[in-house]
Structure formats: structure tokens, C-alpha cells
Structure 1
Amino acid sequence: MRSVIKILGIAAGSFIYSIGINYFIVANGLAEGGFVGISILGLYYYKIPLGVSFFILNIPLFLIGWKLFGKRFIFKTILGVVFVSIFSEVTKGWQAPMSDKLLAALYGGVINGIGLGIIFRSGATTGGADIIGRIVNHYFGYSMGRTLFAIDVIVIGVVALIIGKQTAMYSLIALFVASRVIDMVLEGHASSRACLIISDRSQEIADAISQTLERGTTLMEGRGGYTGKNKEILYCVVSREEIGRIRQIVRDIDPAAFLVIYDVHDVLGEGFAPLKATS
């Protein structure tokens, strides 16, 4: 059942991604990074169907990936590529030319990010640059992120030379927006906050948080880098709505305390989402 849900997720993500590509990117003469970007260039200049060229470009990488990383990894990647190839042809007539290319880039980036985020969250990829990134990492040790960035830069550079700098700039905006939306889909909206509190009265603050907010806390041992004195560091995670009360508790008990608040994602456990929900 879980495998069926993941396959449906890959299909849904691929469908949404294909809509973003055709409805906003291709319809407004923009481009993408990676192998989809290469396929879009093939569509613009040689009228090669995007889905066909995208699938063909990935075939040699399937064979290499199968040999290096095994059938389990490559199976979901093949599904992602096949679904994107099919849906990009199904939706090729769904286009919305816009007078404002900036809006097209923004909307396209959001839709593409949602689609890719669902695909990645389902455990698949869209092949192409992702497989190359893994191969380069396997043989040369370079990080996947660096390789993927280099491939996107090369493709967008070619777009700048062939189509024009303005199109390349709008395409970069779409890529940036998509990357941020992918992070949101994968990690969730940061509705929780983590707090680090350094104080000489950490235990009192911990007791107040427990009594007032009914939140658990953790006390850790630390040492001041300048003074060399031992310090207790209090760590806790609270909802966004409780941050004001945390500040007030710390301010009332120890105005000289050091408080750090930052976003956290996928908080699982008592008081938040149940851990078993992600298994």
C-alpha cells in the first residue's frame, strides 16, 4: 500500500511539474536548468517533443545508474522520468502566454517547485542531472549540490548565448523560486521554533516553561569560550505562537540571559506531530 501511495505521489508531482513547464515556462519562451532545460532548447530550435528528448537523454544514465546504484534507486527515478515525459506531452497544449515574463517566471517557479517537491518527497527524482550528480560524487567525491548547480549554470549560460540574457535572467528567477518551494514541500512550513537559552538560572527557566507552557526542556552542559566557566544551556522547541511567552519567561527570570530562536522543520514527537506518522 505504501509503495502504491509513493507511485501515485510521483505521478501527481510529475503532472504538476509538467503543467508548470508547459503552462508558464514554455508558453512564455523561458527555460529551465538540467536536462529539462536542454529538452526545452531542443523544442524551441528543432521542434523535438520535450517528453521524447527528455526520455532519450536519460536512457544512458539509467544504464549507468542501474550498474552503480542498483535497481532500487533507479526504479523510482525511471518512474519520475517516464511520468514527466508522458505528462509533458499530455499538457503541451496547456499554455498561458503572459505579457509580463517576470510573473510567468514566478508562477512557473512555484508550480515547478510544488511538483518537484512532491516527486522528491515520494523518494524519486527526475533523473538527468540528479544521476550525473550521484555519478560525479561516486567517482570524484564532489558534492551533488555543487554538480547540480554547475549543470544549471551551464544550461542557463547556453540559454543566455542562444536566446538572450533577459530570458536567462527570468529563467534564473524561476529556478530560484522553485528551489525555495521545493524546500518548503520537503521540510514543511516552519511553524515551530527552537530556543537555546544560556543563563545562570537555567533550571528556574526550565521549570517555568514546563509549568506555564507544558513543554519539555533539555539541559546541556557548556563552557564559556571567553570566561572558561561552566554554563548550563537550555534547549526547547515550541510553537510559533508560544515564542512571545518564552521571551517573557526568560526576561522575567533572568534579563541577562542569552536567548537564540530559530526555525525548525519536521518536529516529531510528544506535543507535535507523532513520529509514527512518517514511517
Structure 2
Amino acid sequence: MTILARLKRIRLPRFREVVGIALGCAVVALSLNLLLVPAQIAPGGVSGLAVVLYHLFGLPVSVVLLVVNIPLFVLSWFVQGSRFGINTLLGSLLLPLFVELTAGLSPVTGDLLLNGIYGGIVMGIGIGIVFRAHGSTGGTALTAQMLSKYTGFTVGQILLGIDFVVVALAGFVFDAELAMYALIALMVCTRVIDLVQQGLRNAKAAFIISANPRVIAQTIHEELQRGATILDGHGAWSGRELEVLLCVVNSAEITRLKTVISRIDPQAFVIVTDIQEVQGEGFSK
């Protein structure tokens, strides 16, 4: 595909996406300058590498981010195609900009544990906001996607490997204790990113095998204002045909659901499982 053809396929970001990416990058920048950089905590990725190089050679964090991210973006664009688009380029430019603008702010605390935990929380919130705006801060995500294309490893495995190398480098340059704090920040950041992307309203799915599936479905609709789907099943041991009821509810509603089921059919067989994400009527869009 020619460069001109790729340029024509680029989708310009919507205003809401631009605001989200800018806000997320600003929050990430605050996590670096207020919490992580002063404490010498390198939470993996390009940001962690920038922290190490800052304390080792005095290189500004913003410069390292820019110097690493932009070439990676250009290389990824040629290797992977235009799907990286303007949103990724925007994040790759705005993050160094906000890091530079907030570089003069004073650290919040000198406690290493607090820096690690809250640095991870704030960074996770920022990256999560960027992801929800369909953007990216560039860095190791681009590297992982490129390497995944030519190796047998998944993007997640490559990201984990890169983060481990950066944290190990921080342990070698600083000390083992700071590397352990970096691992705390990395784990907290990863979890918070998931929470921001998926939201706090966790959902559960219930598979119900009962002699009265339609009565249970009707009662669920009347008392919980939730829908249900009837699936065709076949008993492996009995050989008889049966109907399996599938119902998705919020975590707070699962007790009420089980109460309804046991009231109608105490012998019902119920499987409840966690759902990572759900979209549609009655849930997030």
C-alpha cells in the first residue's frame, strides 16, 4: 500500500477523543512528576526507562519519551499500517508535552510505599482514560504489537517481558528495594487501567437448569427488571432435551436472583460466573 493510500485511510479523531487523550496524558504526567520520578520508581515500559535514564544521566523524562515514542510510531505505522492513526500519534506527542509542563511541580510525599501505590493508581487512571478515548501513549505497546507479528509470543507476553527488563534495570541502577516498589506500582497501574476501562459495575452471568425455566424467566423480568435467554440443552447422562436459562445481572443483584430461583425451584442447578465486560441495555454502552 502506498503512503498516499495509507494517509487517505487515516480516521481523524473526534473532539471527545482529543479531550480524553489530552486529559489522560496530563494525568500520567502528574503521576510521573509528583510521585514516581522523585522516588526513583520505574514502573516498566518507556516511562520506567525514562525514569532510569533521568537519574542515571540527567536526561529529561519528556525528551526520552519523545525520542523513543516518535520513531516507534513511525516504524509501527510502516510495519503495521495506518490503524495506529492520529490518536496514537496524538498521545505520543501530548505525553512528553505535559511531562515537560509539569516538571517543576514539587513531589507530594517522600514515602516510597505511598509513591509506589499512588503513582500506580494515578498512572493507571491516566492510561485508562487514554484507552477509553481510543488512544495510546505509544511506547512499549507499539513495540509489542510489532514483535508479536513476527514472533510466536502474544502482545501481553511481550509487554510483560519488556516491563520485567525495565524493572530489573531499575533494580540494577538503583537497588533491589526500589525495584520491588516499581513492581508494586506496575501491578497497581495494570489493575487500575482495567477498572477505568471496564468500570466498577461488575456483572455476573447465571446459567440455570430447572424444570420451570420459563416461570423463572418471567419472575426475573418482573422482580429484577432483567431479561433472560433460553438456550437449548441436552443432558449428557439422561439423554433428555432441556432448556438452559442464561441471565446477566450486576454483582449487587446476584443474591436476589438466587433467591428467586430457589423460591420457584429449590432443585434448580445454577452456575454463576464473573463477566469481565458487558455492553447493552441495562448495562454500559
Normalised TM-score (structure 2): 0.88
Q: Which residue of 2 aligns with 1:215?
A: 226
Answer whether contact 2:40 2:51 (CA < 8 A) is retained: no
Q: How does 1:1-279 map to 2 (within 5 A)?
A: 3-96=14-107, 98-264=109-275, 267-273=278-284, 275=285
Percent identity, please: 36
In structure 2, distance between residues paired with 1:95 and 1:32: 20
1:71 to partner: Cα distance: 3.5
Match of 2:8 in 1: none
Q: Which amino acid aligns with 1:92?
A: A
CA distance in 1, matches of 2:238, 2:106: 64
Mapped to 1, the partners of 2:160 and 2:281 lie a distance apart of 38
Q: Which range moved further: 192-201 or 146-155? A: 192-201
| Residues 227 and 164 of structure 1, relative CA distance in 2, 3 Å threshold | farther
Structure-2 separation of matches of 1:262 and 1:116: 28
- CA drift of 1:258 comes to 2.2
Distance in 1 between residues matched to 2:109 and 2:280, nearest whole Å: 46
The 4+ residue runs of structure 1 with deviation greater than 6 A are none
CA contact (8 A) 1:13 1:114 kept: yes
2:23 maps to a residue whose letter is A
Q: Structure 2: how far apart are the matches of 1:99 and 1:14?
A: 24
Residue 200 of structure 1 and its aligned partner are, at CA, apart by 2.7
List runs of 5+ in structure 1 lacking aligned partners. Answer: none
Q: Tell me how large the CA RMSD over aligned residues is.
A: 2.1
Query: Does structure 2 retain, via aligned residues, the 8 Å contact 1:130–1:148?
Result: yes
Structure 2 unmatched runs, 5+: 1-11
Does the 8 Å contact 2:131/2:197 carry over to 1?
Answer: yes
The residue type equivalent to 1:196 in the other structure is F
- 1:81-110 deviations in Å (ceiling 9; x for gaps): 111101111111223253431121111111
Amino acid at match of 2:183: L
Deviations 1:155-199 (A, max 9, x none): 111111221111111111111111111001111112443222122
Structure 1 residues 62, 245: CA separation in 2 closer, same or farther (over 3 Å shift)? closer
Structure-2 separation of matches of 1:95 and 1:147: 34
Contact 1:113 1:182 (C-alpha < 8 Å) held by counterparts: yes
